[in-house]
């Protein structure tokens, strides 16, 4: 009994703030420094234990021989002593990435959510992407030693050391200038109707690795919309789509050129007037029924249809024409 009480008292003296915290979507990997006595040590986890993933609590730096869970305390037996680390996966802390694009300034933000007591992180790393905690333990143990760009399919970001307090903390950690290109897009099956809706979007080169996350777009102080930014490596092309454009619209005319028993040929003209005082890039992609034939100079022909990109100057109007043969 005396020995057990002594171990409990020693555990109180050894409790330490976390030095290394790696935050993932849905949980975090925490490493707390400890100075272990010989043979055995009791960790007083308290309410924190219910948020520690089963099987993830371990001592690094000694050879464990036994763990005994007694209520909210854990008795470790091991071979060795001295400096070590208490490591666990903690569901009380999670993180995600989101972005703002204000004019030409792209800012990456971290959103960290903490339940329970405050946590001091001398090294704070955010891993963003899709990950499942049930299959992660081995990956999480090695992730900090992997290349910083993209370990295990995740995006890795080093954040400034800080003390995290219960609640939600949002902080910017990367900020760079970009040159967004405005986009208008129609993609879908071939239609003969007179007006085709267009979707508005933006395209820019990623100034740093972009984990998937929501993007808020603001221009000249006005909110333009939100979109999901896809995973994009540094230097890659990122596209964000903001919904239907209410000013620009494709106008279509379809004329029958010839008709036989088995097929019919049409002349299709699609016209766009750029209503904006800045250039826009038009992206067209249509699909046709099986057995079609298409004559469309300048377009990339595909087994299922075509795709085309064209830049329109401010207030410019342009028509695109093709000849289409369809089976009857």
For residues 186 and 173, state if they share a domain: no
Q: Do 102 and 171 contact (CB within 8 A), yes or no?
A: no
Query: What DSSP designation does 220 have?
Result: T
Task: List, for residues 95-128, the tens digit of each pLDDT value.
Answer: 999 999 999 999 999 999 999 889 999 999 999 9
Task: List, for residues 184-208, the tens digit of each pLDDT value.
Answer: 999 999 999 889 999 999 999 999 9
Domain count, the chain: 2
Beta bridge partners of 188: 286
Question: What's the domain range around 158?
Answer: 1-177
pLDDT computed for residue 18 by the predictor: 60
Average pLDDT of the residues of the chain: 89
Q: Cα 93 to chain center, whole Å? A: 18
Q: Cα 213 to chain center, whole Å? A: 4
pLDDT computed for residue 147 by the predictor: 38
For residues 192 and 170, state if they share a domain: no
Mean pLDDT, range 258-267, rounded to an integer:
94
pTM, two decimals, is 0.81
What is the phi/psi pair of residue 66, to 5°? -165, 145
Most confident option among 145-149, 259-263, 279-283? 279-283
Domain C-terminal end among 126, 155, 177: 177
Q: Do 74 and 46 contact (CB within 8 A), yes or no?
A: no
Helix (H) or strand (E) holding 121: strand 119-121
DSSP 3-state of 46: helix
pLDDT computed for residue 129 by the predictor: 79
For the record, the structure tokens of 49 come out as: 């234990």
Kindly indicate the confidence band of residue 131, based on its pLDDT and cuts at 50, 70 and 90. low
> Is residue 12 predicted with pLDDT exceeding 70?
no
For residues 107 and 142, state if they share a domain: yes
Query: What DSSP designation does 275 have?
Result: -
For residues 291 and 268, state if they share a domain: yes
For residues 97 and 154, state if they share a domain: yes
Mean pLDDT, range 205-226, rounded to an integer:
94
For the record, the structure tokens of 232 come out as: 């994009």
Cα 153–Cα 154–Cα 155 angle in degrees, nearest 5: 130
Task: List, for residues 134-190, the tens digit of each pLDDT value.
Answer: 545 444 444 444 434 444 468 999 999 999 999 999 999 999 999 999 999 999 999
For residues 257 and 319, state if they share a domain: yes
């Amino acid at each position: 009994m005396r020995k057990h009480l002594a171990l409990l008292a020693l555990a109180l003296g050894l409790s330490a703030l976390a030095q290394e915290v790696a935050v993932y979507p849905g949980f975090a990997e925490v490493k707390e420094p400890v100075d272990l006595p010989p043979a055995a040590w009791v960790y007083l986890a308290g309410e924190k234990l219910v948020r520690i993933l089963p099987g993830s609590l371990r001592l690094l730096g000694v050879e464990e021989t036994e763990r005994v869970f007694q209520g909210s305390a854990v008795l470790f037996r091991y071979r060795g002593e001295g400096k070590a680390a208490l490591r666990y996966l903690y569901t009380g802390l999670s993180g995600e990435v989101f972005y703002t694009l204000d004019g030409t300034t792209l800012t990456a933000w971290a959103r960290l959510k903490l339940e329970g007591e405050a946590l001091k992180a001398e090294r704070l790393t955010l891993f963003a992407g899709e990950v499942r905690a049930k299959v992660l333990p081995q990956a999480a143990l090695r992730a900090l030693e992997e290349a910083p760009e993209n370990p295990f399919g995740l995006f890795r970001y080093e954040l400034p050391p800080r003390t995290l307090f219960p609640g939600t903390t949002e902080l910017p950690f990367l900020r760079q200038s970009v040159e967004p290109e405005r986009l208008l897009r129609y993609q879908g099956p071939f239609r003969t109707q007179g007006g085709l809706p267009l979707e508005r979007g933006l395209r820019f080169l990623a100034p740093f690795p972009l984990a998937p996350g929501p993007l808020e777009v603001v221009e000249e102080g006005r909110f333009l919309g939100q979109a999901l930014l896809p995973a994009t490596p540094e230097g890659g092309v990122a596209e964000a789509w903001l919904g239907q454009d209410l000013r620009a619209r494709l106008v279509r005319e379809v004329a029958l050129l010839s008709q036989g028993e088995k097929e019919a040929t049409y002349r299709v003209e699609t016209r766009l007037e750029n209503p904006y005082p800045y250039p826009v890039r038009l992206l067209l992609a249509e699909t046709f029924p099986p057995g079609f034939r298409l004559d469309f100079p300048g377009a990339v022909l595909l087994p299922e249809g075509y795709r085309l990109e064209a830049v329109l100057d401010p207030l410019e109007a342009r028509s695109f024409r093709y000849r289409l043969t369809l089976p009857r």
